[in-house]
């Protein structure tokens, strides 16, 4: 289990959560997954758990858990317009093109479960996403792609696939 460290004064430092910046190439993507049969779980309590930035990247086989179960309705309402990252954390967020996010379990995130942006040739498949998007003011989603952009200079983004995911209990 990879947890966000507590700095001792109640503040959390999200800078130690995975920020993965790498790129592969056509036919040779960078594949990020647990070693052999290990189970890897990221637990987070701030804006983002896993941040992927790059092209030709595959992120596969992880569990990501947020803090939505720890937040009460009263707390969420009291902090609604403040924009505190604790109430707006997303599970997996990627930017880039030729990205695949597959076979992950993402749950209890106050905001989006899985989000991709600023790219095309994006595949999000075979994930389980639940208990997400309960407390955010951002109008996010369980799984989604926003601000899709063409990677080859054409006028429209191409090949966005969201398929075979199990999504439930998402507000």
Judged against a pLDDT cut of 70, whether residue 2 lies above it is answered with: no
b/e code 30-42 from CB counts within 10 Å (16+ = b) = bebeeeeeeeeeb
pTM: 0.85
Instruction: Say how many residues make up the chain.
Output: 171
Question: Over the chain, what is the mean pLDDT?
Answer: 84
Minimal CA–CA distance to 163: which of 75, 98, 103, 77? Answer: 103
**Residue 10: what pLDDT?**
40
Question: For residue range 78-95, what is the model confidence (pLDDT) as tens digits?
Answer: 887 777 777 888 899 999
Determine contact, residues 106/83, Cβ cutoff 8 Å. no
Residue 69 CA to residue 71 CA, distance in Å, equals 6
133 vs 165: which has the higher pLDDT: 165
Average pLDDT over residues 54-79: 91
Provide the pLDDT for residue 89.
83
- For 149, the token pair is 């952009």
- 68 pLDDT more than 80: yes
């Amino acid at each position: 289990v990879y947890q966000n460290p507590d700095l001792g004064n109640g503040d959390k430092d999200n800078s130690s959560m995975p920020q993965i910046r790498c790129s592969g190439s056509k036919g040779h993507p960078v594949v990020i997954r647990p070693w052999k049969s290990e189970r890897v779980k990221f637990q987070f309590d701030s804006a983002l758990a896993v941040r992927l930035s790059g092209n030709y990247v595959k992120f596969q086989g992880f569990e990501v858990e947020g803090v939505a179960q720890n937040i009460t309705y009263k707390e969420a309402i009291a902090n609604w317009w403040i924009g505190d990252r604790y109430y707006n954390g997303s599970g997996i967020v990627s930017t880039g093109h030729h990205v695949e996010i597959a076979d992950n379990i993402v749950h209890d995130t106050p905001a989006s479960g899985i989000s991709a942006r600023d790219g095309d040739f994006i595949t999000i498949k075979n994930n389980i996403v639940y208990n997400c998007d309960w407390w955010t003011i951002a109008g996010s989603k369980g799984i989604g792609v926003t601000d899709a952009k063409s990677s080859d200079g054409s006028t429209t983004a191409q090949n966005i696939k969201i398929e075979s995911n199990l999504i439930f209990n998402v507000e």
